[in-house]
Amino acid sequence: MPILSPALGATVPDSPHATVVCLPTLADVESYERKEERVWKLLHAGYPRFVRNALVTRAAREAASTLGRTGELFPLVSEVSARRLAEHAGATLTSIDHVGDWYLATTSAGDAALRLAKMVQHTGMLISSRQAEAWLTGAAPPDGSTALHSIQSALSPLLAGVAINDILIATSGMNAVEAGIAAVDAVQRPRGRSAWIQFGWLYVDSTRLLEKARDAKHHFVSDVRDLAAVERLLAAGDIAGVFTEVPNNPQLETADIPALRALCDKYGAKLLLDPSSVGLASVDVLPFADIVVSSLTKYAGSEGDVMAGVIAVHPARADGVELLASVRRRLAPLHALDLAVLATQVGRMTEVTQRLSATAAEIARRFAAHPAVARVRTADQGPTAAAYRRLLRSGAGAGSLITLELRGDMRRVYDGLAVAKGPSFGLRYTLAAPFLWLAHFEEVTNEQGRAHIRAAGLDPDLLRVSVGLEPIEEIWAAFAVALAQ
């Protein structure tokens, strides 16, 4: 049976807890970004940090009605996170109530509420759809300790040297990122170090966390091959940490991580590494990191129905004990119901990642030979391929991601593509997304922004493909038809 493009608002999988919502045309993407009703009225689930799940919305409204609360509603995982995020956003909380095993915070509508909503998005502090569902039905949450241990045990071989109980599972990859940045800040600020180096283009929310630090410099070095620029910044003596993805997304380029580690050691900076783009089963980055953060929504949660993240501190590096203690204080642990779901999938992560990588390699080869494709990016090809391969695990490949630059009109190709279309990757379903239109909509829709994107070495109209586990010929047929239009 051929792969089909699901309808606008359909979820992948067909579940109230799905993490992918489908946007079949570029016009749908534009309406989604502009919050237009024709699209948003159809969205009941989606990537949970961007689309508030209908169950979460319902729980917040029912709790607010019972408590007599009005205003903008934020159903959050903890009181401390609610107060911290509100303070960071400059928002005054009009109330905060303990509701079951979560908290309902309210604030007045306006710019401050919008800033708070963005910080909640960046840090992944919303309650999960399963947590909301349990509260709505009156179900008591289970003990998650067995599921947690199962997940930690499955990840342990990929984080060798870290004690099992020190492999910490978060509500999302971005929650792990935020905790990692905060931990480095806690250790480095007393030493007069508060600035950060963003090495290469990062996932948008990671960039926003660095940009929105209120009293810290944020240096952006766009080319991951430019270690000289990193060293010049490190030499100033005020750098707390360097953050890079392995590889970055969507360029799929990798820095010389051993050399970067040596520079951080020389100048006293911490190194934060995020291998989410290819998954922990593809690359071994812990030996070079102070802290590793990664999304488990991808590759580990390959069914597409659970959001989670992981963070691990290198136990033998300087300040490891202090960094781990700070991470524990900051992290929002994954809810027991989501732990139970992730525990059923994470054990397949290595096999799934290898299968996705193998299929993606063949699809990328065919893209490279297609006359409608101007450029194909994968982690193990191009100018930084050697740097990537130095980190590869035995039997691993380049993950599921392929970035395409097209010769013709991206809109025509995207609209004609018969696969699921929406954000996320590393799932058993093939996905396509006009990535920068989703992550950087304001920039791709004005010429100054597009120039900024091009200056970073990216095509504003690139198409990001996450290859799934469907038969290769079915996947290729869908793309061959769209590229021929």
Q: Does any domain span residue 72?
A: yes
Asked if residue 327 and residue 225 are part of one domain, the reply reads yes
- What is the token pair recorded at 379? 């982690």
Overall number of domains in the chain: 3
Last residue of a domain, one of 346, 368, 384: 346
Q: Classify residue 376: in a domain, yes or no.
A: yes
Residue 72, strand partner residues: 107
Domain coverage including residue 267: 145-346
> How much is the pLDDT for 135?
97
Residue 139 lies in a domain: no
Residue 99 Rama label (left phi>0; alpha psi -120 to 50; beta): beta
Residue 216 belongs to domain with CATH number? 3.40.640.10
What is the per-residue pLDDT for 3? Answer: 66
Contact (Cβ atoms closer than 8 angstroms) between residue 62 and residue 75: no
- Kindly report the CATH number assigned to the domain that includes residue 70: 3.30.70
pTM: 0.96
CA angle 113, 117, 119 (to 5 degrees): 115
Query: For 315-445, where are the E strands, in sequence order?
Result: 373-377, 401-406, 420-421, 431-433
* Residue 49 maps to a domain: no
Same domain, 310 and 391: no
Confidence at residue 1, expressed as pLDDT on a 0 to 100 scale: 44
Identify the H or E element spanning 75. strand 72-76
Whether the Cβ atoms of residue 173 and residue 309 lie closer than 8 Å to each other: yes
- Which stretches of the chain drop beneath a pLDDT of 70? 1-4
In a domain, 28, yes or no: yes
Model pLDDT, residue 456: 83
Judge if 339 and 358 occupy the same domain: no
198-252 per-position pLDDT tens digit: 999 888 889 999 988 878 899 999 999 999 999 999 999 999 999 999 999 999 9
pLDDT tens for 344-398 read 999 999 999 999 999 999 999 999 999 999 999 999 999 999 999 999 999 999 9
Q: Are residues 356 and 340 located together in one domain of the fold?
A: no
Q: Would residue 269 count as lying in a domain? A: yes
- pLDDT score for 268: 98
Structure tokens at 180: 């990692």
Confidence at residue 457, expressed as pLDDT on a 0 to 100 scale = 85
Residue 456 in any domain: the answer is yes
Gap between the Cα atoms of 206 and 364, Å rounded = 27
What was the pLDDT predicted at 216? 86
